[in-house]
Structure 1
Amino acid sequence: MNIMPNNLKRQYDLHAPEYEAKALEVLRSGWYILGNEVKAFEQEWAKYIGVKHCVGLASGLDALWMSFRILGIGEGDEVIVCSNAYIACVMGISMNGATPIFVEPDQYDNIDAEKIESEITDRTKAILVVHLYGQSCDMTRIMEIAKRYALRVVEDCAQSHGNHWHGQTVGTFGDIGCFSFYPSKGCGAFGDAGAIVTDDEEIADKFRVFRNYGSRVRYQNEVVGANSRLDELQAGLLRVKLQYLDQFNEERCRIAEKYTKSIKSANIVLPQIRPGADSTWHQYVIHVKNGQRDDLANYLKEKGIGTIIHYPIPPHLSKAYQYLGYKKGDFPIAEEYADEVLSLPMYNGMTDTEQSYVIECINDWESSIC
């Protein structure tokens, strides 16, 4: 049996006729940039998330770096972010000349809210909240801190499409919620795509201008902007997929529940859900202890099972951020997690037989090392 870590074709197959019909509709329309599909998706996504405004963009990274640009955060400013985030989160900060200030993760793989306050200085301007692996951070505590110190809050919801904190959808707590619709995301496009959401009309208007070369009227450029427009084809396909997002999330929850109930290993720490949160299970990430992660990954590979490490190098140790001057040992929890985490196969359309085989192989591995 050959099992991919993420099989995107399965999700496509579930509703292939609708995707194909929409693609043909857009192609035949003759309008491919900033048309009715984008407008309709922006309205539908805003309604789904529970905000007033959505602005479609070319990617999730664009959503991040443009957020800090539009909030006026740049050279000399600091932004707090989790130390185990994907490097794109940090790029969103540093591309504006601001400095990322890392805070270690908690037992739920998200930023430890209780460690944020000690890192705030007179240069701190914002907190970048990353809802990693499909689970909310402690937004109650984070928003309390942000309010006390008058800090902006940007939420990276790239991996959390439709999950909640105490019933409120993530992306609605801060000033701006950023979304990636990269194909592997919960509501994934069929190419690169992204968006921001906000209740602030002024912020939304600035994004609409900035994404289109700084122009709201052709050839009349108000600011030095960017070319970051969600295209009509991706918007149309996302509109189809959005209709099924809750079903996709429910299916992933069932898959996660079976993993949690069935994996038996003293060397594996299974993912936990923070009280007050739910999870859309963008990834099912286990922690393999005692230096056994690579051994398990290799064992599963031999059995035809693919896995992914999210993420093997913490941002502070990447070559890209050598200039920050950090060294190994500066953020020991993030570094420990980087040596432990392993994402098991998780995708819509995964069969019970496939998942049972993954679980069987993991439990057999545990027996073989005892």
Structure 2
Amino acid sequence: MIELMPISRQFRLLKDDILAEISDTIEQGQYILGPKVKKLESRFSEQTGAKHAVAVANGTDALVLTLDACGIGPGDEVITTPYSFFATAEAVSRLGATPVFVDIDRSWNLDPERIEAAITARTKAILPVHLFGQPAALDDIQSIADRRGLLVVEDACQAFGASYRGKSIGSIGHAGCFSFFPSKNLGTLGDGGIVVTSDPELAGRLRRLRQHGSAERYYHDAIGYNSRLDELHAAILLVLLNKVEAWMKKRRAIAKTYDERLRPLKPVLEVPATEEGRLHAYNLYCITSPKRDSIREALSKNNVQSGVYYPRPLHLQQAYTSLGYAVGDFPVAERLSREALALPMGPLLTDQEQELVIAVLQDFAEKGGAK
């Protein structure tokens, strides 16, 4: 079976180094917010160009704590995309605020041309998602935010390693939120997350919030959270950080091969659009096709995994029926929910495996896209 995301290969390859770091952590005897978390935060700050990095328990918490630290709460509105993992909107709702959805553009990210019309007196922030690793149109989004006095919080959970006009994703808005879920470009053996910002006051609030609203043990300035990255996960991530640059190059090489070999198969399927000035991180490589389900069946018959991201857009989720959205409100997001299909992607995907994936798709197209 050719896996959609051959994650276990990465950990097996680095098993000895990971175990050595875990052993060192055990010997040091500090397991929560110890030296390895501090080192990871320092490395991440350097990697992104942001002045501060605050490690938390997972990517969802990164979003929740950041919005909380920015003062988002009941009665506020946050503009975001309907085409993302549920956590994006969930983080807004968890604080009692309301997600306001805006349709997406050809990059599958928040369409800046539609944002202004969605702004109201209650709007406090814009939450763009760099979907599957491709940056959103941050210049346009930030320009709107600056003009209207709004914050921009980047949901960069899928976009570690991406950049926009030479600047690292996560460092362009007021804050950037990343996930260390195992399937991410930089992932650990479990959950983890981090927030980057160049605002020292925001960083300070985040550090207090992640530890029960406390800057000094047993003294609490605010109602906070228990959201700390374990020292063991920091140790694992430090090992993977040494590989991630080479692995990003491999991801882009795989994506380039897919692009070149699959582009001629239009109109049966289409490769993803890439925008000038945006360095894609390719956490996922997704094609689109009106015959998506048939393509998926053909891949499965040849022992190739694929993935549907996402089968139901956020505005049509049952949890958001109270917001009053309906089918047809965001046609681009709805079309992608019907047509997008993720192909196998990862730095250790072999040439032979990719060739088989391509061959199955070429055969499907040559037969006219059966069914």
The TM-score normalised by the length of structure 1 is 0.97
Q: 1:4, 1:27 → 2: CA distance? A: 33
Counterparts of 1:1-370 in structure 2, within 5 Å, are 2-263=1-262, 264-265=264-265, 266-289=267-290, 292-369=291-368
Residues 291-337 of structure 1, C-alpha deviations (whole Å, 9 max, x = no match): x1111101111110000111111011111111212121221211111
Structure 1 residue 121: Cα displacement: 1.1
CA contact (8 A) 2:268 2:368 kept: no
SS in 2 for 1:130: coil
SS in 1 for 2:250: helix
Q: 2:70, 2:45 → 1: CA distance? A: 20
SS in 1 for 2:128: strand
Q: 2:131, 2:346 → 1: CA distance? A: 17
Residues 23-44 of structure 1, C-alpha deviations (whole Å, 9 max, x = no match): 1111222211111011111011
Residues 202-239 of structure 1, C-alpha deviations (whole Å, 9 max, x = no match): 11111111101111222111111100000100011111
CA contact (8 A) 1:10 1:350 kept: no
The TM-score normalised by the length of structure 2 is 0.97
Gaps of 5+ in 2: none
Q: 1:182, 1:328 → 2: CA distance? A: 31
CA contact (8 A) 1:79 1:126 kept: yes
Structure 1 residue 58: Cα displacement: 0.1
Residues 131-186 of structure 1, C-alpha deviations (whole Å, 9 max, x = no match): 11111111111111010001011001111112111101111111111010101101
Amino acid at match of 2:315: H
CA contact (8 A) 1:3 1:305 kept: yes
CA contact (8 A) 1:3 1:304 kept: yes
Residues 13-32 of structure 1, C-alpha deviations (whole Å, 9 max, x = no match): 33222112111111222211
Structure 1 residue 196: Cα displacement: 0.3
Q: 2:226, 2:236 → 1: CA distance? A: 21
Q: 1:121, 1:216 → 2: CA distance? A: 35
Amino acid at match of 2:323: L
Amino acid at match of 2:352: T
CA contact (8 A) 1:10 1:348 kept: no
Amino acid at match of 2:199: D
CA contact (8 A) 1:103 1:111 kept: yes
Q: 2:32, 2:289 → 1: CA distance? A: 46
CA contact (8 A) 1:49 1:169 kept: yes
Q: 2:215, 2:235 → 1: CA distance? A: 22
Q: 1:322, 1:28 → 2: CA distance? A: 51
Identical aligned residues as a percent: 40
Amino acid at match of 2:278: A
Gaps of 5+ in 1: none
SS in 1 for 2:62: helix
SS in 1 for 2:53: strand
Q: Which runs of 4+ in 1 moved over 4 A?
A: none
Q: 1:258, 1:274 → 2: CA distance? A: 17
Higher mean C-alpha deviation, range 211-220 or range 350-359: 211-220
Q: 2:320, 2:297 → 1: CA distance? A: 30
CA contact (8 A) 1:64 1:156 kept: yes
